[in-house]
Chain A
Amino acid sequence: MKKNFFWRVSLILSATVLSILFFLPSTSLRSSMPEWLKDYGLILGLDLQGGVHLVYEVDGDKAAEITAERIAGSLTNIFKEKGVDAKAELLNLEITVKPGGDKVENVINESYPNLELVTKTEGMISYKLSDKEIKSIKDLSADQALETIRNRIDAFGVSEPTIMRQGASEIVVQLPGVKDANRAIELVGKTAVLEFKLLDEENPLALELPGSIEADKEAELLAQYAGRIPEGDEILFEKVSDDLGNTIKRVYLVKKQAQMTGDFLTEARVNIDQRGNQPYVGIEFNSTGAEIFKQITTNNVKKRLAIILDNNVYSAPSINEPIPNGSAQITGSYTMEEAKDLVIVLRSGSLPAPLKMLQNVTVGPSLGKDSIDAGIKAGLIGALLVIIFMIVYYKLSGLIADFALVLNIVFLIGVLSVFKATLTMPGIAGIILAIGMAVDSNVLMFERMRDELRLGKTPRSAIDSGYDKAFWTIFDSHVTTLITAVVLFQFGTGPIKGFAVTLGWGVLINLFTALVGTKTVFDLITSKYDIKRLSI
């Protein structure tokens, strides 16, 4: 008995010390903690801390389409190389080759053995990506998007961001403490497909188009010229500020086919032009890219080349002379911040497919802080009321119950810190329920002890049989609650999960503190002193 007693006390003490230790990194003492400990601690959820919570869906169908398009493009080149007279293009998600024939079929089987044959006639043959292939493209594009977003966020500079996949195609991005939410959202969502396209200035339509329009008249203009845009051309816009500082859009007629894409980019950085404050972005290509760029600029001197990111023209300079060294400039009317963000997306590469935003929850830092302050205050007042009530109602025994209550909270924070759990509003709700159950356990035992004392038992045996009789009730009520918590954790999402985590741990910890914690204190007292009357 004595030995057992020693172990119980040391268990409680060491658990307390460890709980506090692992919680410390989430306080202001963090900087003076050893490195290994800094990994732990309680993290406040966005609803409490402020920040941005975004859920994106990667457009996997678009990624598959892009892949198919690329295959069609490269097939056309392969045919040319091999001297086969055929052309491949993407039609309704099918790679259609005209004309067909054995030669064509052989080339395709050799280059892309995974393509599935759809229809075959003499004049035409068409293939599609297999379902398995599409599934893996979708999967891969989600992985790639995740990686790209992570690079961008890292470059943007957010401390402790969470970027993870959820389900097949969703990506969750959590940026705690971010103040400029819109900038972050724009940065993440940029597909960042960089293209260089020539302007079609010889077409009569180019002369007819207005030089610029009001910012929100894009759709109107496109509707006006619908059907008259020459095949192989498209109308794109550049956002600029006019002399009065209003935003307007310049209108360009450009050739659809890109001369070059951003794939060959090796470096991008913000520069400031010599005359003054206007920032521009300098980019550099690798050797292959430099070679292509040199050819483009040599063949198109005096023409204008549009630099296009995600279908928006950034600038459309005239090519004055061939550029051999593989560097170019993207000028445009943007601020220093915008230039920096442009550099971030160029450096981190393009997304494999567009992202669709499913959810955007932004909590301002002030609201988060208000909620915590109010929550802590209310929690403390509530806890204090309970503590006082227990002492008034159960006297010294109530004090012991209060000790268990405090122990409970300390352990719970410790466990959550060890697992680096994120504490959210629903999580706090779970803690509240767990604490309610902790009080209940003690009330159950105390009521039993009172019953026993009424029957005339000694304090010592009243305590023992009080515990024994209350045990199964406490056990049953806790196990049912634990089952609820586990099931909710398994099947619930987001907030429900947060609730389940704190509740589940709370219940487990409470079983320990109620059955071991307070019992130890009672045992300590009854073994030291010969108690005649129990203060309950």
Chain B
Amino acid sequence: MELVKNTKIDFMGKRFIALTFSAILIVLGLVAAVQVARGSANLGIDLAGGTSVQIKFNTQVVLHEVRKALEEGGIKDFDLQELPTERKILIRVKKTGEKVGELSGKIITVLSQKFSNSNIVVDSTTEIGPKVGSKLRGDALWAVMAAMLGILIYITFRFQFRFSVGATVATLHDVLAILGIFYLIGKEINLLLISALLIIAGYSLTDTVVVFDRIRENMKDRFKKHTFEIVNDSINEVLSRTIVTSLTVFLTAVALFIFGGEVIHDFAFAIMLGVIVGTFSSIFVASPVVVMLGKDKAFSNKK
């Protein structure tokens, strides 16, 4: 069975349309990144600090009753989120100040008194001091930057500098795009999303390296040809592999999305989006950047 056969699509010809689209994604992502850094995006408790308590009720409860009970119990500035199918309610209080360890107990006491007939079960409580939240955010950021630098060096060593720029731009593009989309639709940005972004970066990078590898191979044989042609041919040649791989990863992500339960729901969603954007970027971002950074035929400079 074969999905694609001998395609001859002029990918490079469509690069300006694609780059416009990418530019929008990048701008959106940068806005989101700035908001995350400022701590004003919809950050999870693990990144922002604060308290979250997830409670499972044995009977159906109405959200505004929970809200009323908490307000009467003297708890301020909280967010409520409902998972109605599982009778679960997530209570989040951001930035509870310096002292960790009291608020969750208070929330649980208030609710178990008010809903004593519902036999509540505490699924999870998370309390994170503001210092830890910002430290984790900082650490994650530095780790990702350092990883990017590592990739830059390796690809420069194996290919050429402009290839490494292309790969880094494409990888950053994908991470920013998903971050931007999550920010735009108001999903929570937490450590699990950061794991997903790392997966997306890894996937996107592999995808890009595969295309680059074919470009390098082709430029040895056909270095007299126009750069655009080499790139177009290379992308077409690996297109079958690109689609098959994307499809398998996408299948796994869909399975996680549908059957994985509440905890990995958003995670799986991010991977699904990431596969699409990652495939797009290895074709329409990475290669065009490489081409634009060099003159025609400049591929023959090395090897």
Contact = CB atoms under 8 A, between A and B. Distances in A.
B125 A503 contact: no
B132 interface: yes
A366 B121 contact: yes
A311 B146 CA distance: 48
A513 B210 CA distance: 19
A113 interface: no
B131 A488 contact: no
A483 B146 CA distance: 10
Given A429-B267, A491-B143, A477 B132 contact: no
B61 interface: no
Nearest to A373: B261
Interface string B233-271: 000001011001101110111111011110110011001
Contacts of B256: 375, 378-379, 382, 432
Interface string A378-397: 11011101100110110000
Nearest to A493: B139
Contacts of B205: 477, 480-481, 484
Nearest to B140: A496
A205 B291 CA distance: 87
Interface in B1-21: 1-3
A82 B249 CA distance: 81
Interface in B126-140: 126-129, 131-132, 135-136, 139-140
Contact of B143 (A381, A393, A425, A487): A487
B147 interface: yes
A491 B143 CA distance: 5
Interface string B216-246: 0100000000000000000000101100110
Interface residues on B, range: 35 or more
B201 A436 contact: no
B262 to A, nearest CB: 8
B270 to A, nearest CB: 10
B1 to A, nearest CB: 5
A297 to B, nearest CB: 38
Interface in A495-528: 495-496, 499, 503
A361 B100 CA distance: 11
A110 interface: no
Give the secondary structure class of A's interface: helix
Contacts of A358: 100, 128-129, 131-132
Instruction: Give the interface size bracket for A toward B.
Output: 35 or more
Contacts of B210: 440, 444, 473, 477
B213 interface: yes
A131 B260 CA distance: 53
Contacts of A450: 2
A83 interface: no
A168 interface: no
B154 interface: yes
A444 B146 contact: no
A375 B264 contact: yes
A392 B3 CA distance: 12
A443 B139 CA distance: 35
B191 A495 contact: yes
B22 to A, nearest CB: 21
A359 B47 CA distance: 12
B104 interface: yes
B128 A359 contact: yes
Interface of B: 1-3, 54, 56, 99-101, 104-105, 121-129, 131-132, 135-136, 139-140, 142-144, 146-147, 149-151, 154-155, 158, 167, 191-192, 194-196, 198-199, 201-203, 205-206, 209-210, 212-214, 217, 238, 240-241, 244-245, 247-249, 251-256, 258-261, 263-264, 267-268, 271
Given A358-B132, A480-B167, A484-B201, 17 more contacts: A359-B128, A362-B104, A364-B123, A367-B123, A374-B263, A375-B261, A386-B252, A439-B245, A439-B248, A443-B244, A443-B248, A477-B213, A480-B155, A480-B205, A481-B202, A495-B191, A499-B198
15 contacts: A185-B101, A358-B100, A358-B128, A360-B126, A374-B260, A378-B261, A383-B252, A429-B199, A447-B238, A447-B240, A484-B150, A484-B201, A490-B146, A496-B191, A496-B194
